[in-house]
Amino acid sequence: MGLAGHSSEIAKKLGARGRLICFDRDPKAMQLGRARLDEVRAELATEMPEVLFEPRAFSEAAQVIAPGSLDGLLADFGVSSLQLDEAHRGFSFRSEGPLDMRMNPLIGETAEQVVNQADEEELANLIYEFGEERRSRRIARAIVRARPITTTAELARVVSAAAPSMKGDKIHPATRTFQALRIRVNNELGEIQSLLKSAGFLLKPGGRLVLISFHSLEDRLVKDAFREAARNGEFEVLTKKPVVAGEEEERKNPRSRSAKLRAAEKR
């Protein structure tokens, strides 16, 4: 659900007979998303659909939704603006904060624990695999030498010193390492794989599956799953190429620049 941007627009189209089920494992997002949908309820009055809130990861949808009952399923992957903009969540290297990175800050291993407890080879492998960072071994070696590392700013300095920006590189040198740690801490790719496996069981024939990814690892999972489902006759792919933000949308929301939307219909 995030901050309920998509959910608000879906609610407006569902009407009074519709049902909207909102998932998010981030308690703060759930709180703010509920508030935004309350505003939509005040606007729509009797035309507001039934809204159910599930404070859990979207990978658990099959635990609470009946098979073959959904007309549509939308998943918006990755980190939210709320998480990036709050320094104490530890997602961003642009401001000083604790190395946390958990989407649900109440459970699980923190990025600080991974950074300070994983051995050098494990760190190098996860930075390479989840961050697609070619200089992963150099970065992992620098991290181990600099430990203990407790804040986002400390980690960003260590990574930047070990692997400074190369000519023509438009992103901060710590971007890929932070992405890798975030994916590892939140098991993001595993969550997506779980959702992809259950989506076909949850949707009705003719139901739509719409997935928004933000980096190549996510998009590759979706593209491969759609190709396999089309080959098996389970889905028809509706987007030959991913839908991306236009110039106007990018001006209003620069973070939409990396978003890719793919859609498929259950047969």
Tens of pLDDT along 100-128?
A: 999 999 999 999 999 999 999 999 999 99
Q: How far apart are CA 131 and CA 239, in angstroms?
A: 26
> 255 pLDDT band (50/70/90 cuts)?
confident
Query: Span 68-81, mean pLDDT?
Result: 91
23 annotated to a ligand binding site: no
How far apart, in Å, are the Cα atoms of 247 and each of 77, 170, 241, 255? 22, 19, 18, 12
| Among the listed residues 155, 145, 150, the one whose alpha carbon sits nearest the alpha carbon of residue 175 | 155
Q: How far apart are CA 27 and CA 162, in angstroms?
A: 36
> 169 pLDDT band (50/70/90 cuts)?
confident
Does the pLDDT value for residue 168 go beyond 80? no
Which residues contact residue 128 at a Cβ distance below 8 angstroms, ignoring those fewer than 6 apart? 134, 136, 137, 180
172 annotated to a ligand binding site: no
Q: What is the pLDDT of residues 219-251, one digit of tens each?
A: 999 999 999 999 999 999 999 999 999 999 999
Query: Span 39-67, mean pLDDT?
Result: 97
169 annotated to a ligand binding site: no
Using DSSP, how many helices (H) and how many strands (E) does the chain show? 11, 6
Q: What is the pTM of this model?
A: 0.92
Break the chain down into helix, strand, coil percent, rounded to 5: 50, 15, 30
Does the pLDDT value for residue 16 go beyond 90? yes
Q: How far apart are CA 149 and CA 69, in angstroms?
A: 47
24 annotated to a ligand binding site: yes
Task: Return the CATH number of the domain spanning residue range 82-186.
Answer: 1.10.150.170
> 181 pLDDT band (50/70/90 cuts)?
very high
CA angle, 244 then 245 then 248, to 5°: 160
Place of tokens 């990036």: 84
- For the chain, what are the domain ranges? 1-56, 82-186
Does the pLDDT value for residue 78 go beyond 80? no
Question: Is 96 within 8 Å of 230 (Cβ atoms)?
Answer: no
Q: How far apart are CA 101 and CA 99, in angstroms?
A: 6
Query: Span 87-105, mean pLDDT?
Result: 92
Q: How far apart are CA 258 and CA 217, in angstroms?
A: 12
Does the pLDDT value for residue 82 go beyond 80? no
The pLDDT value recorded for residue 81 is 75
6 annotated to a ligand binding site: yes
The pLDDT value recorded for residue 80 is 77
3-class SS of residue 64 = coil
